[in-house]
Amino acid sequence: MVTVIERREPKPDGSHQGPVSVAKATKAKSQHGGGLYKPRTPIYPKLVHGRWRMIKWALLVVTLGIYYATPWIRWHRPEGLPQQAVLVDFTGRRFYFFFIQLWPQEVYFITGLLVMAALALFLTSALFGRLWCGYACPQTVWTDLFIAVERLWEGDRNARMRLDAAPMSFDKAWRKGGKHLTWLAIGAATGGAWIFYFHDAPTLWKQLWVGQAPLTAYISAAVLTFTTYSLAGGMREQVCTYLCPWPRIQGAMFDEHTLQVMYLHERGEPRGPHKKNESWEGRGDCIDCNQCVIVCPMGIDIRDGAQLECINCGLCVDACDEIMDKIGRPRGLIAYDTDHAVEARACGNKPRYDFIRPRTIYYAGALALVSGLMIWGLVNREPVVFDVLRDRNPTFVRLHDGSIRDGYTLKVANRTFARQTFQVTLEGLPGDVLKTPGMDATKGALTMTVEPDQVGSLRVLVTAQAQALSAPSVPVTFHLRSADIQTEKRSVFLSGAANTP
């Protein structure tokens, strides 16, 4: 069975009704002045209590807690390095994540992380539908918080509807003012928390108040304040319905075994009001109380079937379960279920929940592969990156005694948090002499020290007797050794025709 997701038109009470035909939509358009867009019908979600609401509250606290608190977590690193556990250090060109420290050249780890996040989202969607949208997406979490604030200032659904319909008064003004100020404060805290991920949080906190923070910090905080305020306070469900591409893409991950919030049509219909002590014979369990509709933050009626707007938040499940408890009918008229299970039940068969299916195997396999590669990459990450750059101009110099000299620049990136002292030696050139400006020439090894988390550079001049050279281009290997690190890099010693006797 294919899941059909349709766009619905809102009812006057803020909920939605059946699919809209083109003719109807055109007529509606002409009725509101022929503009391109229909004005938004405000939605006033009612507070609901229940299992899914509790889970949503818990996730709201956890996710927001992680977001706001993370920049303040300290992590011990050697002196001179940031002590912040998670930091995107643009100035120092490093990304710190607890014990992991990435250099700009290792941006592929970030790419890998994004690929992992995408695959995890694909897998979650194939298994549980829009679980991310309903419970953990920042838009959902902040909108939930903003609605809770709105409820605090203006009351629950009916009170909010009455207040909006009422003419302006002192009571309305201070309630609306208080709500918007609180929203702005949350927006500012959100934008403020964001910039702490890019600077040392305690230092930036002090600088912010005395006007000494970087201009980019003030601009970023202002932009984030505005976007949080407008997306979570003003646009709310419209972001999910019109701006976010994910609702359109996710359909490709769904099949008949995907868990979604569903109204059990066979059980609920025919619906209608029910009086106490009336028989349930010949009718459905839905008493048409509309509770599932008025709690919906997306303003839709789940009884109309699967819809693009539904974010699988489960609030209508809680609302309907509460009603079922009151009227003494079994819970689960609206429930998380699969098309396959519903169909099986309708045919009198036992429903089967298939979590292991070809698409979930592909997604899980790809996720395991990318995660494995990431872990392997991190475990085998080179503590020191060694590069040898040979002089290109001139490629070699003939000295007054007939010997040949080539110049090299050794670059050593010390990715460890300890100062490293290396011995630099050369292999492959008989009788070579190494020299670096400011130091005596040596036939043995040069010494090079690189500070923690820094790139060291050493200029090396290699001299060889022309007679000792077997060819115009002799392969050589530079060795770099410290107490616990050993690495090497190949290069060539060029002499051109100069070695010809």
Burial of residue 401 (number of CB atoms within 10 Å: 0-12, 13-18, 19+): exposed
Per CB under 6 A, does 261 bind ligand SF4? yes
Cα separation of the two ends of the chain: 85
Per CB under 6 A, does 286 bind ligand SF4? yes
Q: Which stretch binds ligand SF4 (CB under 6 A): 191-199, 285-293, 471-479, 488-496?
A: 285-293
Per CB under 6 A, does 300 bind ligand SF4? yes
Looking at beta carbons only, is 119 or 298 nearer to ligand SF4?
Answer: 298
Nearest-approach distance from CB 243 to ligand SF4, in angstroms: 16
Per CB under 6 A, does 287 bind ligand SF4? yes
Q: Which stretch binds ligand SF4 (CB under 6 A): 100-108, 287-295, 465-473, 485-493?
A: 287-295
Contact with ligand SF4 (CB under 6 A) among 334, 388, 412, 494: 334
Strand pairing of 446-450 and 397-398?
A: unpaired
CA 133, 138, 143, 149 dihedral sign is positive
Looking at beta carbons only, is 308 or 385 nearer to ligand SF4?
Answer: 308
448 within 8 A of 424, measured Cβ to Cβ: yes
Burial of residue 495 (number of CB atoms within 10 Å: 0-12, 13-18, 19+): buried
CA 349, 352, 357, 360 dihedral sign is positive
Looking at beta carbons only, is 287 or 426 nearer to ligand SF4?
Answer: 287
- Cα→Cα distances 457→268, 387, 424, 436, Å: 76, 10, 12, 11
Contact with ligand SF4 (CB under 6 A) among 125, 190, 250, 312: 312
Contact with ligand SF4 (CB under 6 A) among 84, 101, 228, 291: 291
Per CB under 6 A, does 313 bind ligand SF4? yes
* Interior angle at CA 131, CA 324 and CA 252, nearest 5: 115
CB count within 10 Å of CB 221 equals 22
Looking at beta carbons only, is 264 or 446 nearer to ligand SF4?
Answer: 264
Looking at beta carbons only, is 310 or 469 nearer to ligand SF4?
Answer: 310
Looking at beta carbons only, is 48 or 446 nearer to ligand SF4?
Answer: 48
CA 297, 299, 305, 309 dihedral sign is negative
Per CB under 6 A, does 335 bind ligand SF4? no
Locate 165 and state its tokens: 């319909």
Per CB under 6 A, does 316 bind ligand SF4? yes
Examine residue 270 and say whether the peptide bond preceding it is cis (omega within 30 degrees of 0).
Answer: yes
Ramachandran angles phi, psi of 93, nearest 5° = 55, 50
Per CB under 6 A, does 333 bind ligand SF4? yes
| Residue 487: DSSP 8-state | E
Contact with ligand SF4 (CB under 6 A) among 9, 200, 269, 288: 288
Nearest-approach distance from CB 15 to ligand SF4, in angstroms: 9
Nearest-approach distance from CB 366 to ligand SF4, in angstroms: 28
Nearest-approach distance from CB 32 to ligand SF4, in angstroms: 25
Looking at beta carbons only, is 312 or 338 nearer to ligand SF4?
Answer: 312
From residue 265 to residue 284, the character string flagging contacts with ligand SF4 as x (rule: CB under 6 A) and all else as - is: ---x----------------
Per CB under 6 A, does 241 bind ligand SF4? no
Contact with ligand SF4 (CB under 6 A) among 119, 310, 426, 464: 310
Q: Which stretch binds ligand SF4 (CB under 6 A): 13-21, 117-125, 260-268, 478-486?
A: 260-268
Per CB under 6 A, does 259 bind ligand SF4? no
CA distance 222 to 219: 5
CB count within 10 Å of CB 134 equals 24
Q: Which residues contact 240 (CB under 8 A, 6 or more apart)?
A: 133, 139, 140, 247, 298, 309, 311
Looking at beta carbons only, is 43 or 476 nearer to ligand SF4?
Answer: 43
* CB contact burial 411-433 (16+ within 10 A = b; e otherwise): ebbbbbeeebebebbbeebeebb
CA distance 174 to 187: 19
Per CB under 6 A, does 48 bind ligand SF4? no
Nearest-approach distance from CB 45 to ligand SF4, in angstroms: 8
Looking at beta carbons only, is 112 or 314 nearer to ligand SF4?
Answer: 314
Nearest-approach distance from CB 257 to ligand SF4, in angstroms: 18
Name the 3-class secondary structure at 249: helix
Per CB under 6 A, does 231 bind ligand SF4? no
Binding-site residue total for ligand SF4 (CB under 6 A)? 27
CA distance 96 to 84: 8
CA distance 136 to 122: 15
Nearest-approach distance from CB 55 to ligand SF4, in angstroms: 13
Per CB under 6 A, does 59 bind ligand SF4? no
Per CB under 6 A, does 319 bind ligand SF4? yes
Per CB under 6 A, does 289 bind ligand SF4? yes
Nearest-approach distance from CB 329 to ligand SF4, in angstroms: 9
CB count within 10 Å of CB 372 equals 10
Examine residue 351 and say whether the peptide bond preceding it is cis (omega within 30 degrees of 0).
Answer: no
Interacting residues toward ligand SF4 by CB under 6 A? 261, 263, 268, 286-292, 296, 298, 300, 302-303, 310-316, 319-320, 323, 333-334
